[in-house]
Amino acid sequence: MTDTDSTTSRRAPGTPAELPQTLRPRPAGAPREKQPERDTDDPVVDCAVYVQGERLDVAPSEALQVARDRGGFVWLGLYEPSEAELTAIGEHYGLHPLAVEDAVYAHQRPKLERYDEAMFMVLKTASYVEHDQLTASSEVLITGEIMVFIGRDHVITVRHGTHGELGQLRTQLEGQPDLLCNGPSAVLYAIADHVVDDFLEVAGEVEQDVEEVETSVFSPSRTDDSGRIYQLKRELMQLRRAVLPLELPLATLVDRPNELVPEAMRSYFRDVQDHALRVRDQVTGLDELLTSILQASLARTSLADNEDMRKISAWAGIIAVPTAIAGVYGMNFEYMPELDEPWAYPAALLLMVAACVSLHRGFKRTGWL
């Protein structure tokens, strides 16, 4: 690993840099990974050393040395650390400065990068937003990010966003000591699997929204769903940006030999890859279906407009006939013999009615009315 600064280079070999005092250990019994936002000075949500699959609660400043002495690894969980905080942690663990910069500013696309004997992986997270009724302005899902630094003796997770807590995942993983014995890659697998499973759940919820819009578009009643469809497509685009780029990083973990990923773990990552491909196909299918529904909605709207125009034109034609007849008799010519006859007025009215009825029946037969 390349030294990040002169301070790192002055350390004795194998000795981690000291953490600043602000990164103090969390009190015993405090909740883990439950912070909806930064409401404390400490970005450390949880810190533990895992030796042979067993958890050891250790202060963050001592965790790395304990892990090296015991032959285990550290899992340090952070929530939205500042640049100074993550830089200090990066110096302590020997993280590459470029990866640290990406983790601070977030808004990264899913990726996997290799730095000498370390890896850095970015995962997008997604959560479905419950709503009573889908509207043209409904928020369907929210996204966040989880960055994972992997080394031989450490895992550092950096979480951004108001969801995607890893406390329950950590507890579940601690109940599988055989899996934890595979080292830091087991944590990376668990996080990737958790994220992809969330994608499956979100895609299922979005599919229900798509079915609701589809039913509305093809219902007998006249509706305008183009706004809702467009909003759903825009929200689905966020899920596409989280899912599609994940294919290459997972393929790399599965297919390329890596000393940080034991052979036993590659089959686990292959399972995650299969789930990710399933989500990709589902999201792509939903997007294509929404495109078809949008086209159908616009076609129905255009057809309804044409029907309205035909009806208006038909009634205008019917009204034009008595208007024309009345216009003729309103010209007040002197020589109109029928004007002197007693039947002239009723005859004119009868002619108007007969012409209107005839036109109405004709337009009915042709489907204009």
Structural domain boundaries, residue 145? 6-300
- How far apart are the C-alpha atoms of 167 and 266, rounded to whole Å? 24
Is residue 54 within 8 Å of 177, Cβ to Cβ?
yes
Domain boundary among 300, 329, 352: 300
Amino acid in position 104 = V
Q: Say which CATH number the domain at 362 has.
A: 1.20.58
**Lowest-confidence region among 89-93, 214-218, 289-293:** 214-218
- How far apart are the C-alpha atoms of 336 and 22, rounded to whole Å? 108
Interstrand relation of 54-57 and 44-51 (parallel, antiparallel or unpaired): antiparallel
Domain boundary among 257, 283, 300: 300
Is residue 272 within 8 Å of 193, Cβ to Cβ?
yes
Based on the fold, state whether residues 181 and 325 are members of the same structural domain: no
69 domain-assigned: yes
Give the residue among 121, 207, 130 at the shortest CA–CA distance from 163: 130
Interstrand relation of 73-79 and 154-160 (parallel, antiparallel or unpaired): parallel
Number of Cβ within a 10 Å radius of residue 131: 11
* pLDDT tens-digit map of 332-358: 666 666 666 677 777 777 878 887 888
Q: How many domains does the chain have?
A: 2
3-state helix, strand, coil in the chain (%, to 5): 55, 15, 30
Based on the fold, state whether residues 52 and 170 are members of the same structural domain: yes
Based on the fold, state whether residues 161 and 46 are members of the same structural domain: yes
Based on the fold, state whether residues 291 and 329 are members of the same structural domain: no
Based on the fold, state whether residues 274 and 313 are members of the same structural domain: no
| For residue 223, pLDDT beyond 80 | no
Domain boundary among 280, 300, 320: 300
Based on the fold, state whether residues 295 and 154 are members of the same structural domain: yes
Exposed/middle/buried for 228, CB within 10 Å: 0-12, 13-18, 19+? buried
Based on the fold, state whether residues 261 and 361 are members of the same structural domain: no
164 domain-assigned: yes
| For residue 6, pLDDT beyond 60 | no
1 domain-assigned: no
240 domain-assigned: yes
Based on the fold, state whether residues 248 and 335 are members of the same structural domain: no
- How far apart are the C-alpha atoms of 156 and 139, rounded to whole Å? 31
**Lowest-confidence region among 167-176, 178-187, 220-229, 328-337:** 328-337
Q: Say which CATH number the domain at 121 has.
A: 3.30.460.20
Give the residue among 151, 96, 121, 146 at the shortest CA–CA distance from 252: 121
Where is pLDDT greater, at 10 or 53?
Answer: 53
| Amino acid 301: pLDDT | 73
| For residue 2, pLDDT beyond 50 | no
42 secondary structure, DSSP code: -
What rounded mean pLDDT belongs to the chain? 82
Based on the fold, state whether residues 219 and 116 are members of the same structural domain: yes
Based on the fold, state whether residues 130 and 237 are members of the same structural domain: yes
**Lowest-confidence region among 120-129, 160-169, 173-182:** 160-169
SS3 61: helix
94 domain-assigned: yes
Helices (H), 129-225: 167-174, 177-180, 184-217
187 domain-assigned: yes
Based on the fold, state whether residues 221 and 286 are members of the same structural domain: yes
* pLDDT tens-digit map of 102-149: 998 878 889 999 988 899 999 999 999 888 777 777 788 888 999 999
- How far apart are the C-alpha atoms of 187 and 169, rounded to whole Å? 9
315 domain-assigned: yes
188 domain-assigned: yes
Based on the fold, state whether residues 314 and 203 are members of the same structural domain: no
Of all residues in the chain, the percent with pLDDT exceeding 90 is 43
